[in-house]
Amino acid sequence: MSYGIALDIGTSGFRCQAIDLESGATVSTAITERHPIPGMNVIDHVNYAMKKGEDTANALMIGTINNLFGELDIDLSKVVKIAVCGNPF
């Protein structure tokens, strides 16, 4: 079995789904309830990144993505495609 992952990096949270590429079925879904960068809106997210640095903001986002992938409960070594969309701030 091979998988694809669809990842939406949204302004209010992140969402991802694992798809069985043979059947087209959604295998699992993982979401965050809020954006990993502190703040209530895009301006707050940008201000945080400007004050704390892009490396800090990037680490928060990458950590969140890694956690979501872990929550999908699939063998990540069998992921052959990833589609990413969204607005990171």
pLDDT digits (tens, 9 = 90+) for 36-68: 999 888 899 999 999 999 999 999 999 999 999
For domain 3-86, give the fold. Answer: Nucleotidyltransferase; domain 5 (3.30.420)
Domain ranges across the chain: 3-86
Q: What is the C-alpha to C-alpha distance for residues 14 and 21, in angstroms, rounded to an integer? A: 22
Question: What tokens were used for 71?
Answer: 């929550």
Instruction: Read off the pLDDT of each residue in 13-34 and give the average, rounded to a whole number.
Output: 97
Q: pTM of this prediction?
A: 0.88
Nearest C-alpha neighbor of 68 from the set 26, 36, 21: 36
Q: For all residues of the chain together, what is the average pLDDT?
A: 94
Sort 75 into a burial class: Cβ within 10 Å, 0-12 / 13-18 / 19+: exposed
Cα angle value 63/31/20 (rounded, 5°):
100
